[in-house]
Amino acid sequence: MMASVKVAIIGVGGWGRRVVNGLSKLENCELTAICDIDKGKAEEYSRAYGAQGFTDYNSMFEKAEELEAVAIVTPTPSHYDVAASAIKAGKHVFVEKPICDSIVKARKLVEAARKKEVKLMVGHVERFNPALQELKKAITAGKLGRLIFLSARRVGRPVKVSEVGVIKDLAVHDIDAMRFLVGEPRSIFARCGAVEKHPFEDHAEILMIFDEIQGFIEVNWLTLKKERLLTATGNRAFATVDYIEKSLSIKYQDKVETPQFPVDEPLKLELSNFVNSIINNEEPLVTGIDGLRALEVAEAALRSAKTGKLVKLC
Min mean pLDDT across 61-65, 136-140, 142-146 is at: 61-65
Q: What is the pLDDT of residues 4-57, one digit of tens each?
A: 999 999 999 989 999 999 999 999 999 999 999 999 999 999 999 999 999 999
**Per-residue confidence (pLDDT) for residue 305, from 0 to 100:** 98
Residue 291 has pLDDT above 80, yes or no: yes
Q: What is the pLDDT of residues 157-171, one digit of tens each?
A: 876 667 899 999 999
**Per-residue confidence (pLDDT) for residue 310, from 0 to 100:** 98
> Could you give the CA distance from residue 99 to residue 106 in angstroms, rounded to a whole number?
6
Q: How far separated are the first and last CA of the chain, in Å rounded?
A: 48
What's the whole-model pTM score?
Answer: 0.95
**Can you tell me the mean pLDDT for 131-150?**
98
Residue 1 has pLDDT above 60, yes or no: no
**Can you tell me the mean pLDDT for 206-224?**
96
pLDDT band per the 50, 70, 90 thresholds, residue 2: low
**Can you tell me the mean pLDDT for 220-225?**
94
> Could you give the CA distance from residue 69 to residue 90 in angstroms, rounded to a whole number?
8
In one letter, which amino acid is 99? I
7-to-54, 68, 121, 194, 200 alpha-carbon distances in Å:
14, 6, 14, 39, 34
Q: What is the pLDDT of residues 223-276, one digit of tens each?
A: 999 999 999 999 999 999 999 999 999 999 999 999 999 999 999 999 999 999
Which string of DSSP letters, residue by residue, matches the chain?
Answer: ----EEEEEE--SHHHHHHHHHHHT-TTEEEEEEE-SSHHHHHHHHHHHT-EEES-HHHHHHH-TT--EEEE-S-GGGHHHHHHHHHHTT-EEEEESSS-SSHHHHHHHHHHHHHHT--EEEE-GGGG-HHHHHHHHHHHTTTT-SEEEEEEEEE---SS--SS-HIIIIIHHHHHHHHHHH---SEEEEEEE-SSSSSS--EEEEEEE-SS-EEEEEEES--SS-EEEEEEEESS-EEEEETTTTEEEEE-SS-EE--------HHHHHHHHHHHHHHTT---SSBHHHHHHHHHHHHHHHHHHHHTS-EE--
Residue 197 has pLDDT above 90, yes or no: no
**Per-residue confidence (pLDDT) for residue 198, from 0 to 100:** 81
